Chains A and B, each alone.
Chain A
Amino acid sequence: MRSRWAFAPFWLTYLFLYAPIAVLVVMSFNAADTPYTWGGFSTHWYGELASDTKIREGLVNTLIVATGSTVLATVLGTLLAVGMARYTRSKVLGALATLPAILPDLVLAIGLLAFYSAIQATLGLHSVLAAHTVFGMAFVATVVRTRLTHADLSLEEASRDLGAGAFTTFVRITLPGLMPGIVAGALLAFTLSIDEFVIAFFTAGPKDPTLPIVIYSMVRFGVTPEINALATVLLAVSFTAVILVQRVTRLTDSLR
């Protein structure tokens, strides 16, 4: 029988991972004005948060960008994955499709900014949305491609054999088979877009900053517990997304 102390490093790792987050959540209920000393329990900062127009505008901007880029990335990424599986075996093209997902954000951000200036595009929400679509699409395509490699090609042939044309086969047979991958990819693109800072910072216009940019400019003048409350809300949203992704993956397994 193994000693219970053998598991100490395991639990220490979890402590290391989650202690800062726990502190953050606890401090968001702090009644005091500074984020470092405890002054009693209060939901006061959540009220402040709700009435802060800058944050609200930033949140709306972020949601517009995240929703729009997720829709675009999901449609384009899925089509890209299917197209690659059908028409090419090139490893280079495959790697190029994944590259934006693993490229350092800074590289992508500088590149996009250079591109936007080259074509003399005005910066605004649309430019952030397009920028987020670039890496979102790479993520969706990668996830959907993994699912495609496990797909049974005889299903599509069976559909053709039973009298369905190419379009009906794609909509009725191919897409439902890929759906768990598509949903997982979409959730990934959405959560990544919501808290993306570097690329948004480079490609956003001065008039409509996204939420991470708003937070960054607030933090520059000192951290208030309002930030903690905001971070806790974002944490709750991210957790929900992670759990959703896991549910969907389990669904994928049960379909196998």
Chain B
Amino acid sequence: MTLVSVRGVTRRFGEVTALDDVSLDIEQGEFFALLGPSGCGKTTLLRILAGFERPDSGEVLLDGADLLALPPHRRPVNLMFQSYALFPHLSVEKNIAYGLERERLAKAEIRERVAEVLETIGLGGAARRRPDQLSGGQRQRVALARAIVKRPRLLLLDEPLSALDKKVRAEMQLELKRLQHEVGITFVVVTHDQEEAMSLADRIAVLHGGGVEQVDPPVALYERPRTRFTADFVGANNLFHGTLRAQGVEVAGVGLLPCDVPADAALGTAVDLAVRPENIAFTDAGVLRGTVLDTSFYGGQSRVSIAVPGVAQPVEVTAAGASPVAQGAEVQLGWSPAHAVLLP
């Protein structure tokens, strides 16, 4: 069931178009990610959903009703700010109770719900502390608790993990997923970190230059990117520019690179071919020949860069364990046609 429907939303700031005719559907109960580099319009879209920005044109529906007609404080939508925006003069429990007090609930019910959510985030002992007495991870939990205690239809999270150090990030990542299952609220997370988006979300929308490039579950997005931008932005990729032929892509000065060509493809057009580093293998009868520039060992795997004459960027290859080739070696590379992705 569709919870939020964004239709043809455009927002300009002076000369800059932050959002250009964006349309998206967010399903009830899913964990949705808006992924893109800074300036792609993801934060503007989030602020439109929260009510702090208005689109110049287009509409946003929540449960089929016009969301834009409501001011921010009347929307069943809550936002977890990137800076957390905890009220510094209020204790943890007062911060969490703030939203419930605005609904004019009975004192007893507020107390009960605050205690309950403090238990859920494991901060029952810190109820009376001030925000400045908490660690980064604890602050993030309080910000989350303050938003979910309102039981919104939609919870927005602005770069939720960016302010945390690496170890706490991993913990909070699991925590966020667990909470989302537990409370059953629809989550929309905004992030520039593709790993964060892939590990958290059920579906990801890749935004670029104010437009939606692709909306897909993480695995599909990674394995079948549909645009050159997505292929390049989500995970590492080797991109080759050439002309489409019946058996593959012909790259000038390199040769014919194999891929599956659909029957209805327009042969002879300019296309890009994307091949993931982990899908390229060292073989004796490869399609690319080159010299090993550099190898680096990352524990479980090694990354090898290879200079291939005719290809501008070095080709990146990931191999399990230690590198099977040494720097300066002449190697041949190949891949199965099924692993190469054609991009228009």
Question: Chain A: which residue is nearest B82 at the CB level?
Answer: A154
State whether the Cβ of A163 lies closer than 8 Å to any Cβ in chain B: yes
CA distance A159 to B98 in the complex (A): 8
A13: shortest Cβ distance to chain B, in Å?
37
A89: shortest Cβ distance to chain B, in Å?
15
A216: shortest Cβ distance to chain B, in Å?
44
Question: Chain B: which residue is nearest A161 at the CB level?
Answer: B79
Q: Which residues of A contact B71 (CB under 8 A)?
A: 160
Known interface pairs A160-B51, A161-B51; 5 further A-B residue pairs with C-beta atoms within 8 A, sorted by A's residue number: A154-B81, A162-B73, A162-B102, A163-B74, A164-B98
**B88 engages A177 (CB within 8 Å):** yes
**A161 engages B98 (CB within 8 Å):** no
**A164 engages B85 (CB within 8 Å):** no
Contact pick for A162, options B83, B88, B99, CB 8 Å: B99
Q: Which residues of B contact A164 (CB under 8 A)?
A: 73, 98, 102
CA distance A168 to B98 in the complex (A): 11
Q: Which residues of B contact A158 (CB under 8 A)?
A: 79, 81, 85-87
Q: List 26 A-B contacts (CB under 8 A).
A: A152-B85, A154-B85, A155-B85, A155-B87, A155-B88, A157-B81, A158-B87, A159-B98, A160-B51, A160-B71, A160-B73, A161-B78, A161-B79, A162-B73, A162-B78, A162-B98, A163-B73, A163-B74, A163-B103, A163-B150, A164-B73, A164-B98, A164-B102, A168-B102, A172-B98, A176-B89
Q: Which residues of B contact A157 (CB under 8 A)?
A: 50, 52, 72, 79, 81, 85
Q: Which residues of A contact B79 (CB under 8 A)?
A: 157-158, 161
Q: Which residues of B contact A152 (CB under 8 A)?
A: 83, 85
Within 8 A of A (CB), among B85-144: 85-89, 98-99, 102-103, 132
State whether the Cβ of A255 lies closer than 8 Å to any Cβ in chain B: yes
Chain B residues within 8 Å of chain A by Cβ, number? 24
State whether the Cβ of B146 lies closer than 8 Å to any Cβ in chain A: yes
**B81 engages A177 (CB within 8 Å):** no
Q: Which residues of A contact B77 (CB under 8 A)?
A: 161
Which 9 A-B pairs rank lowest in CB-CB distance, beginning with the nearest? A162-B99, A163-B102, A158-B85, A154-B85, A160-B72, A176-B89, A163-B73, A160-B73, A154-B81
State whether the Cβ of A75 lies closer than 8 Å to any Cβ in chain B: no
CA distance A161 to B78 in the complex (A): 6
Within 8 A of B (CB), among A145-170: 152, 154-155, 157-165, 168
**A161 engages B73 (CB within 8 Å):** yes
CA distance A134 to B51 in the complex (A): 39
**A162 engages B89 (CB within 8 Å):** no
B285: shortest Cβ distance to chain A, in Å?
59
Q: Which residues of A contact B98 (CB under 8 A)?
A: 159, 162, 164, 172
Instruction: Give the interface size bracket for A toward B.
Output: 10 to 19
Given that A152-B83, A177-B88 are known contacts, is A162 also in contact with B52, CB under 8 Å in the complex?
A: no
Contact pick for A163, options B50, B88, B99, CB 8 Å: B99
Q: Which residues of B contact A155 (CB under 8 A)?
A: 85, 87-88
Q: Which residues of A contact B86 (CB under 8 A)?
A: 158
CA distance A158 to B85 in the complex (A): 6
Question: Chain B: which residue is nearest A168 at the CB level?
Answer: B102
A39: shortest Cβ distance to chain B, in Å?
56
CA distance A157 to B73 in the complex (A): 9
**B87 engages A161 (CB within 8 Å):** no
**B73 engages A255 (CB within 8 Å):** no
Question: Chain A: which residue is nearest B130 at the CB level?
Answer: A255
Q: Which residues of B contact A177 (CB under 8 A)?
A: 88-89
CA distance A159 to B146 in the complex (A): 11
State whether the Cβ of A173 lies closer than 8 Å to any Cβ in chain B: yes
**B88 engages A154 (CB within 8 Å):** no
Question: Chain B: which residue is nearest A179 at the CB level?
Answer: B89
Q: Which residues of A contact B52 (CB under 8 A)?
A: 157, 160
CA distance A163 to B73 in the complex (A): 4
Given that A162-B78, A168-B102 are known contacts, is A154 also in contact with B73, CB under 8 Å in the complex?
A: no
CA distance A158 to B132 in the complex (A): 17
Contact pick for B146, options A160, A162, A168, A172, CB 8 Å: A162
CA distance A253 to B188 in the complex (A): 36
